[in-house]
Amino acid sequence: FDYVGSRAFMRHVDTRLPRYRDFFLEAERSTGIDWRLIAAIAYQESHWDPQAISPTGVRGMMMLTTHTANMMEVGDRQDARSGILGGAHYYLRVRRKVPERIGEPDRSWLAVAAYNLGFGHVEDARILTQFQGADADEWEEVRERLPLLSDKAWFSRVQRGFAPGQTAVAYVDNVRRYYEILMWLDSHEILTSQDVPPSVIGAGG
């Protein structure tokens, strides 16, 4: 998450987020998931662009596949409100699969990883984490093992095989950073202001 990326994020906070904030708030009311987390996932997926399309065909604000959109009853993935609500409900669906004994924030970060990579692959990473004697209920421990899913010596031992685990690690890291900045801005009531102290942009996390 470099300086240039941070500046782009803050620019989009000012120019794009105000258009869609009510939809994120509606998604929070509908799912119980913090709207700022939903917004952070959406930014990682599309930079808050409801017209976004990936080379693999996923599209919209939350980059839903056709299958996921159908499952969440999203008729038009590129309609901002439909896409946000569908993605939020899909995230909630994935989060509910995470064992109830796992507390926060680990539960949320495991669910974010599963939103990106698929729940089954995250479960495989948890199995490898347990195999190595670490706590499979802690996100930081699973985070260390996710890259093993691209190493044949390890992914051949689990049910679902290869997965780009390092990509999921970077995905969650970015979502966490966006979420932290949105929480900071929201707490200071300057979420749509361009007048953000440089220390916020350059701070580590």
DSSP conformation class of 98: S
Question: What gap in Å lies between CA 141 and CA 159, rounded to an integer?
Answer: 20
Residues noted as catalytic:
45
Question: What gap in Å lies between CA 65 and CA 60, rounded to an integer?
Answer: 9
Query: In the block, which residue shows the tokens 């500046």?
Result: 7
DSSP conformation class of 65: -
Question: What gap in Å lies between CA 202 and CA 173, rounded to an integer?
Answer: 16
Which ranges of the chain would DSSP assign to H, the alpha helix? 3-15, 17-31, 35-46, 66-71, 80-97, 106-117, 119-131, 139-145, 152-155, 165-187, 198-202
